[in-house]
Structure 1
Amino acid sequence: MKELQTAIDAARQAGALIREKAFVSKQIDVKSSASDLVTEVDKEAEKIIRRFITSHHPDHVILGEEGVDAGVVAAKEALTNHRVHEHLWIVDPIDGTTNFIHGFPFFCVSIAYAVKQEVVLGVIYDPIKDELFTAEKGKGAWLNGEPIQVSSERTLAESLLASGFPSGDPAGMRQVNTDGILRLSPHVRNIRAGGSAALHLAYVAAGRLTGYWELDLNAWDLAAGAILITEAGGMVTDTIGNPYEIGVRHILATNGSVHVAVKQALAEAGATGF
């Protein structure tokens, strides 16, 4: 699929800029609060991606994080307005912006392509480690050209999970997510919170994490990682078990074997977000 090469090339071009600017003084802009940080690099990276996609697919539509106002309402409205298009690119130029600002090397470029609201390819690029995760519907998932698959852990006791905390937290989701962590932590090997939803999902696909859940995320955080996991043999739903689609905001993604156990624990803790 020619769109896959477009996504790869766009991610690498944006990643080159991000890598060049990482760990140096950055001009920080603030959308709506100190927790919603946007860097000039973020904006320039999205411009690079938009230019590249538009030059190769001028009739396609792009939903990018930097083109959307801050807040849940604006994000939902933007998705509603964009998802009706047959050919839709879903872009996060830097997933993990706060990490980038602080020089914490866990951030990535995330690009997905959906046809009639179904994600058919995803690319996640970590410019610091030069790791390129790719997936195409029906063709598997790959890391730097080598096939990947989800982990083989079969019980919670063996599992390394990850989660995260939404920025701003207008709906109190941080506390809800903390309730889930407290419920699960005694039963798993450990839990991580790295600060990039897309990279966490890529790590589930690559078998580095057994599973990941988080509440109140946006389409651009999840779309590319979701297809990576399904193509790597894993399972992606919302936190109460409904199949993934691009409108999902409360995500649960695992190797499949522990999916039901994690879902049940979140339900018992009242930590599904619903």
Structure 2
Amino acid sequence: MPVKVSEEDVQGFLEKAIELARASGELMREAFYKDKKVDTKTNHADLVTETDGAIERDVIAALKEAYPDHRFIGEETAVDGKQCDFTDDPTWILDPIDGTTNFIHGIPDFAFSLGVTVNKEPVVGVIYLPIPDTMYTARKGKGAYCNGKKITANVIHEVSQALVMSEGGNGRDETVIRTHSDNLHQILTRSRGLRAYGSTAIDLCKIACGQGEAYVQYDLHCWDMAAGVVLVREAGATVMDPTGSGLDLMSRRVLVATSEDLARQISAMLSHIANGRD
């Protein structure tokens, strides 16, 4: 049986996520201007700082206190190689610092990202950029907002008019990198240009507020996109698997475009990569 939550409950999830984003942003701002202790995870490009871990611990502890019956998935507490326990229960999916490499290198483009799913469907998304103090919020069926002002995607239908975003990713498998490079070549040949801000969350914020028309990425994780999926959908964009099928949040890949026509055009250009599952 599907899990039932009230509209009041979902609004409460949104308010709690905003509260935690603001508190986490204070920690991120303070740490940004200090020397950082940096460790690697899977390889030299997959980085983590003590701030990532501290924020995740604080946020999940607060959520467990407020919602003891809910489930929680966090980037830094995910067990390497083990699939996430993703159920119909209300689930909070957290990336404490999306754009850790930017954070480490003194680039202010990084974000706190927190999404909530119910029945495996994203229903709340909060993305907070602490340096410019910019808060993106969305609730399923209620629109997308930036600092309280409603935002909408810049809807176009032709790839020749699109600014497309994608990231290099943290993986360093040679075959994956080659396929990704070939895909970017196909897109660049046909589109107005490519952009990479170093953070999936920020890329999706750009699309939601009309500063780009598409995003495609393989080799990412559910915590990279859970919040952003709600935001771009509520801003009017289409979200799907890069193959053209429906989005599977655990599939580690996503295609977002500001119209279904545009999404289908981009999908047809791509050589698809299977990255396993979260």
Cα RMSD, aligned residues only: 1.5
Distance 1:185 1:8 in 2: 36
C-alpha deviation, 1:23, in angstroms: 3.6
Matching residue of 1:202: 205
Corresponding residue to 2:182 among 179, 183, 205: 179
Gaps of 5+ in 2: 1-10
Matching residue of 1:25: 35
SS at match of 2:123: strand
C-alpha deviation, 1:193, in angstroms: 1.5
Matching residue of 2:192: 189
Corresponding residue to 1:2 among 6, 12, 35: 12
SS at match of 2:177: helix
C-alpha deviation, 1:251, in angstroms: 0.9
Distance 1:47 1:62 in 2: 11
- 1:92 matched to 2:102: no
Distance 1:246 1:168, change over 3 A: closer
Corresponding residue to 1:67 among 77, 89, 93: 77
Amino acid at match of 2:130: P
Distance 1:202 1:248 in 2: 21
- Which residues of 2 match residues 205-224 of structure 1 at below 5 A? 205-224=208-227
TM-score, length-scaled by structure 2: 0.90
Corresponding residue to 1:258 among 262, 267, 270: 262
Gaps of 5+ in 1: none
- 1:115 matched to 2:125: no
Q: What percent identity do the matched residue pairs reach?
A: 35
Distance 1:238 1:171, change over 3 A: farther
- In the alignment, is the contact (CA less than 8 A) between 1:10 and 1:53 conserved in 2? no
Distance 1:171 1:244 in 2: 26
Distance 1:218 1:171, change over 3 A: farther
Distance 1:254 1:62 in 2: 28
Matching residue of 1:124: 127
- Which is worse superposed, 153-162 or 208-217? 153-162
C-alpha deviation, 1:188, in angstroms: 1.2
- Which is worse superposed, 7-16 or 53-62? 53-62
Per-residue Cα deviation, 1:156-178 (whole angstroms, up to 9, x for no partner): 22211110112132373222111
- Which residues of 2 match residues 23-62 of structure 1 at below 5 A? 23-62=33-72
Runs of 4+ in structure 1 over 6 Å off: none
- In the alignment, is the contact (CA less than 8 A) between 1:106 and 1:195 conserved in 2? yes
Per-residue Cα deviation, 1:111-153 (whole angstroms, up to 9, x for no partner): 0111121111111111111111111111111111111111133
SS at match of 2:19: helix
- Which is worse superposed, 164-173 or 249-258? 164-173
SS at match of 1:181: helix
Q: How many residues align?
A: 263
Distance 2:174 2:141 in 1: 37
Matching residue of 1:170: 173
- In the alignment, is the contact (CA less than 8 A) between 1:99 and 1:105 conserved in 2? yes
Corresponding residue to 1:157 among 155, 160, 174: 160
Distance 1:258 1:69 in 2: 36
Matching residue of 1:247: 250
SS at match of 2:57: helix
Amino acid at match of 2:50: E
Amino acid at match of 2:135: L
- 1:238 matched to 2:241: yes
SS at match of 1:67: coil
Matching residue of 1:141: 144
Distance 2:132 2:36 in 1: 21
C-alpha deviation, 1:101, in angstroms: 0.8
C-alpha deviation, 1:85, in angstroms: 5.2
Distance 1:116 1:152 in 2: 29
Matching residue of 2:7: none
SS at match of 2:172: coil
